[in-house]
Amino acid sequence: MNTTLTATSTATIAPAKSHYVVLDGLRGVASLMVVIFHTFEAYADGNPIKQIINHGYLAVDFFFLLSGFVIAYAYDDRWSRMGQWEFYKRRLIRLQPMVVMGSLIGAALFYLQGGSMFPLVNSTPVSKMLLVMLLGCTLLPLPVSLDIRGWSEMHPLDGPAWSLFFEYVANIAYAIGLRKLSNRVLAILVLLAGIFLGQVAIFGPRGDLIGGWSLNAAQLHIGFARLLFPFLAGMLLMRVGKRIHTRAPFGICTLLLVAGLALPRFGGAQHLWVNGIYDLLCVIILFPIIVAIGAGEKRVDGPSIRIARFFGDLSYPLYITHYPLIYIYTAWVVQEKVPPARGAVWGVVLVIAAVSIAYACLKLYDEPVRRWLSRRFLAKTS
């Protein structure tokens, strides 16, 4: 189901520092993989074994790792001149405008998604939909009683916003206490969080790390397991300074990331734990290696860097606005029993439309709004 992207770029949260353009670009590559993953998901019939771009859901774990790395890089050395409220303001200015836009787009397209796939849509009064939209703009997680689709999402107008909720939890935890931890204590927490993540991946009922988008005990269990290890590991990776220097790091990292997200499911229905081991190895080994390679590149120009910068700028708007289109596409494919050959044409159209909408939101809304908010609320801060 849903994956997500955390909007964490060193270009925007730490403008005074040199930033990791390759890491920003990888976030964009993963965001595009998320869109493709969700497009193919319409043909999987809810069966993860049939899913093409099978491990696209692991993008959320990659994003949490990036988030921990970049937040620690941008803020660890700034607390002597910055209070918690300033930190919160900076994160809200970075994240919240597109959260609002995602909820508004979800509301605008909601009634185009009605039918047997989403039986609650046509019976949902406009007043209730507008209430969900307004609450979605705040990113407060919604209980199942406010589900207006039938998937029990905590954000039923824009499903992927669930992990932005976890991003905020991680940011608050960082500001309150994680930033104060020594590397030794942080390493112990990373080890414990890795065990917690392994419990979900290997011994969970699905044999994967899918989940986290509902406000109930089982889904919160998965969500926090997926958050804690990569976020803490990202912080630790930044602090210990491990970097891998290679030629063409953006290309190498892109190939590794796409391969990790696209490989077919392992173990089949009889050995779910095999796929769980693969998921765990991706999060605890492959993704940190990718980040270490990406962080080893500090150039600020060149063809690959320009491509990475474009993908990085587009990544968050693409993630947070694409899913209302996926709802429409999924409902059409399932209800009309659309064959893959016909659906592929419209799937390409969907990806193009998603990228176009994201780019328009970036240039016409997100960047201007963040500039205005920064001038208005950060003008007197360092």
The pLDDT value recorded for residue 13 is 53
Is-contact 331 16, C-beta < 8 A?
no
* Cβ-contact 44, 50 below 8 angstroms: yes
Q: What confidence score (pLDDT) does residue 298 get?
A: 75
Q: Check residue 382 and give its pLDDT.
A: 44
pLDDT at 11: 52
- Domain borders along the chain are 10-108+161-377
3-state SS string for the chain: CCCCCCCCCHHHHCCCCCCCHHHHHHHHHHHHHHHHHHHHHCCCCCCHHHCCCCCHHHHHHHHHHHHHHHHHHHHCCCCCCCCHHHHHHHHHHHHHHHHHHHHHHHHHCHHHCCCCCCCCCCCCCHHHHHHHHHHHHHCCCCCHHHCCCCCCCCCCCCHHHHHHHHHHHHHHHHHHCHHHCCHHHHHHHHHHHHHHHHHHHHHCCCCCCCCCCCCCHHHHHHHHHHHHHHHHHHHHHHHHCCCCCCCCHHHHHHHHHHHHHHCCCCCCCCCHHHHHHHHHHHHHHHHHHHHHHHHCCCCCCCHHHHHHHHHHHHHHHHHHHHHHHHHHHHHHHHHHCCCHHHHHHHHHHHHHHHHHHHHHHHHHHHHHHHHHHHHHHCCCCC
Predicted local distance difference test score (pLDDT) of residue 171? 98
Would you write out the chain's pLDDT as a tens digit for each of its 382 residues?
Answer: 545 444 445 555 555 566 799 999 999 999 999 999 999 999 998 899 999 999 999 999 999 999 999 999 999 999 999 999 999 999 999 999 999 999 999 999 999 999 999 999 999 999 999 999 999 999 999 999 999 999 999 999 999 999 999 999 999 999 999 999 999 999 999 999 999 999 999 999 999 999 999 999 999 999 999 999 999 999 999 999 989 999 999 999 999 999 999 999 999 999 999 999 999 999 999 999 999 999 998 777 788 899 999 999 999 999 999 999 999 999 999 999 999 999 999 999 999 999 999 999 999 999 999 999 999 998 554 4
| Lookup: tokens for 103 | 């909820």
Residues 6 or more apart in contact with residue 342 via CB below 8 angstroms = none
pLDDT for 18 equals: 67
pLDDT at 114: 93
